[in-house]
Amino acid sequence: MKEFKHEELLEATNNYSKSHLIGKGSHGCIYKATLKNGQIVAIKTPSLGLCKQKDTSKIENEAHILSSILPNPRFLVNLLGTSRNSSGHMVLVMEHMSGGMLHDLLHLTSPGSSPPSWGRRARMAIQIARAIRFLHKSNPLIIHRDIKSENILFDSKSNARLADFGLAVHISSYDPFSQLVDSMSLPAGTIGYLDPSYTSPCKLSTKNDVFSFGVVLLEIVSGTKAIDVSRTPASIVEWSIRLMEENQIMKICDKRVNMPRHMKGAIRHMLALAIQCVSSDEELRPSMTEVVTKMKRFKIFMWLDMIQSLANIKTRKKDRFEGVKHDHHH
pLDDT attached to residue 181: 42
Of 104, 146, 209, 281, catalytic: 146
Give the span between the Cα atoms of 207 and 197, in whole angstroms.
10
Identify the H or E element spanning 223. Answer: none
Rounded to an integer, the average pLDDT of 203-229 is: 97
17-54 confidence digits (pLDDT tens):
999 999 887 678 999 999 999 999 999 998 766 555 55
257-301 confidence digits (pLDDT tens):
999 888 888 899 999 999 999 999 999 999 999 999 999 988 777
Q: What is the pTM assigned to this prediction?
A: 0.88
pLDDT attached to residue 261: 86
Give the span between the Cα atoms of 318 and 233, in whole angstroms.
49
Confidence of residue 226 (pLDDT cuts 50, 70, 90): very high
Give the span between the Cα atoms of 195 and 82, in whole angstroms.
32
For residue 281, what are the contacts with CB-CB under 8 A and spacing of at least 6?
Answer: none
Give the span between the Cα atoms of 48 and 326, in whole angstroms.
79
Q: Is the pLDDT of residue 323 over 90?
A: no
146 as an active site residue: the answer is yes
The closest of 254, 244, 264, 249 to 305, measured between CA atoms, is 264
Confidence of residue 140 (pLDDT cuts 50, 70, 90): confident
DSSP, collapsed to helix, strand or coil, labels residue 51 as helix
Domains of the chain: 2-95 (3.30.200.20), 102-307 (1.10.510.10)
As annotated, the binding site for ATP includes 44
Confidence of residue 220 (pLDDT cuts 50, 70, 90): very high
Confidence of residue 167 (pLDDT cuts 50, 70, 90): very high
